[in-house]
Amino acid sequence: MLHAPSHRRPSVEFGQPLALIAVSSVMRSVLAQLDTIAASDSSVLLIGETGVGKELIAEYIHRTSPRHPRPFVKVGLSALPPELLESELFGHERGAYTSAASDKKGLFELANTGSIFLDDIDDFPVGLQAKLLRVLESREIMHVGGTTPIPIDVRLITATKVDLRTLVDRNVFRSDLYYRINVVPIVIPPLRERPEDITPLIEHYLSRYAANRKIFVAGDAMRALMNYGWPGNIRELRNAVQRMALFANGEIQVKDLPAEIREDDPISAMVKACTRCFGEERMTFDQVIACLEINLLRQTVHQCSGNKTQAAKVLGMNLSTLRDKLKKYDIE
């Protein structure tokens, strides 16, 4: 990830395909698309909350594509000051401005023949969107202060943490740029909507951060981890496991869990699982209620290990009513 204040360039990465961990049907259906997508050269837009693993999926797409031997450049747009963004992306000529003491290649040039990943495309300044669109359409860049077009051949992968259509409606994101980058959209569900993935992810990170020790998670601790809403998604889970593995002595118990997980009650967990309901301005009252109901149904069925009869008793409703609701919301 590029951090502009230090003026460090992003690494140009090569390597072997990555392993993506998913057992939930909703996530496996997402992953099933990736091999087909990777084989093409189409632009990809990854849509998902912060921490769901958009960068990892972008890297997977590149590493399994025909471009995998070539550079993969990752750019965190939100970390770049707007006044540096044009120069960083497209390069500059010596003397283009006061501090331009020498020629400098832009990130698109560094990614030539490979792939470039623009994270947080929703933060891209309106004033530069037309230039980015021209680059994508013409497959040429122009250095700041330059006069000669430079041809480039890159595969574009972008990511957004919000629905770009709402930004288009508010006239803060160009509709033509939106349609140009939204050739293949992939929605990555938050961790709270795929609780089946929590256990294998915890086991994966335990094996990474405690490779030389045998650490187990006690049953009540695992239930607390499963019931937690994970507002920070996989990034939050990874950091929590790393912290627990550091201090664990053989077995992780409830007392070893971070306070926010240990003290999370069922009602607050459900509310946290519905952050989209309360944060999405365009949702109607009926849509908010449906979102709350979906999360309550999904969480209860999961806690009952898929036993619908037991879940219906917990929810205080008839089994036929539960089945109708599960069918209505397409909950497996």
Rounded Cα distance between 255 and 259, Å, is 9
- In the chain, beta strands by DSSP E: 44-47, 72-76, 115-119, 140-141, 150-151, 155-160, 184-187, 216-217, 251-252
What is the structure's pLDDT at 275?
61
Residue 228 and residue 209 share a domain: yes
Query: What confidence tier does 282 reach under pLDDT thresholds 50, 70, 90?
Result: low
Question: Does 159 lie in the same domain as 197?
Answer: no
Amino acid occupying residue 222: M
Place of tokens 């996989």: 234
For the cut 90, the answer to whether the pLDDT of residue 260 exceeds it is no
Average pLDDT of 139-162? Answer: 89
Contact between residue 293 and residue 308 where contact means Cβ atoms under 8 Å apart: no
C-alpha to C-alpha distance for 243 and 230, rounded to whole angstroms: 15
Query: What CATH number is associated with residue 280?
Result: 1.10.10.60
- Structure token digits, residue 85: 């963004």
Q: Same structural domain for residues 332 and 281?
A: yes
pLDDT (average), residues 181-194: 94
Count CA within 13 A, CB hemisphere, residue 32. 7
Domain boundary among the residues 226, 241, 264 is at 264
| Alpha carbon distance 114, 68 (integer Å) | 7
119-144 pLDDT, tens digit per residue, is: 999 999 998 999 999 999 999 988 87
Scanning the structure block, which residue is given the tokens 């921490």?
51
Residue 216, SS3 per DSSP: strand
Please check whether residues 226 and 166 belong to one and the same domain: no
The number of domains in the chain is: 3
State the pLDDT at residue 262: 82
- Residue located via tokens 């072997």: 16
Q: Which domain holds residue 254?
A: 193-264
Copy the structure tokens of residue 182: 């939204």
Percentage of the chain beyond pLDDT 90 is 47
Residue 275 backbone phi and psi in degrees, to 5: -60, -30
Give pLDDT, residue 46: 97
Which of 126, 158, 187 corresponds to the end of one domain?
Answer: 187
* Range of weakest confidence among 177-181, 202-206, 323-327: 323-327
Domain membership of residue 51 (yes or no) is yes
Is pLDDT of 10 > 50? Answer: no
Reply yes or no on whether the pLDDT at 14 is more than 60. no
Q: Would you state the pLDDT for residue 117?
A: 97
Considering the domain architecture, whether residues 238 and 283 belong to the same structural domain is answered as: no
Please state, in angstroms and rounded to a whole number, the distance separating the CA atoms of residues 235 and 319: 37
Examine residue 326 and state whether it is found in any structural domain, yes or no: yes
119-133, 294-308, 312-326: least confidently modelled range? 294-308
- The C-alpha atoms of residue 161 and residue 215 are separated, in whole angstroms, by 34
Averaged over 214-234, what is the pLDDT? 89
Tell me the C-alpha distance between 8 and 84, whole Å.
Answer: 13
Please, what is the Cα angle at 37 between 34 and 42, to 5 degrees? 150
CB 201 within 8 A of CB 22: no
CB 141 within 8 A of CB 135: yes
Please say which residue of 131, 161, 187 terminates a domain: 187
Q: In the prediction, which pLDDT does 144 show? A: 77
CATH label of the domain that carries residue 137:
3.40.50.300
114 falls within a domain: yes
Verify that 131 and 60 share a domain, yes or no: yes
Least confident of 11-15, 186-190, 307-311: 11-15
The answer to whether residue 182 scores a pLDDT higher than 60 is yes
Average pLDDT, the chain: 84
117 pairs with which residues across the strands? 74, 157
The CATH number that applies at residue 201 is 1.10.8.60
- Which whole-number Å values give the CA distances from 14 to 115, 139, 249, in the listed order? 11, 23, 37
Task: Note whether 69 and 135 are same-domain residues.
Answer: yes
Pairwise pLDDT comparison (266 vs 172), residue with the higher score: 172
The pLDDT-based confidence of 15 (bands split at 50, 70, 90) is very low
Q: Output 265 or 174, whichever has higher pLDDT.
A: 174
pLDDT top residue among 246 and 67: 67
- The most distant pair of C-alpha atoms in the chain lies apart, rounded to whole Å, by 75
Query: Is residue 71 helix, strand or coil?
Result: coil
The residue behind tokens 């069918």 is: 327
Question: Can you tell me the mean pLDDT for 297-312?
Answer: 79
Q: Which of 95-109, 132-146, 174-188, 240-254 has the lowest mean pLDDT?
A: 95-109
**pLDDT over threshold 70, residue 96:** no
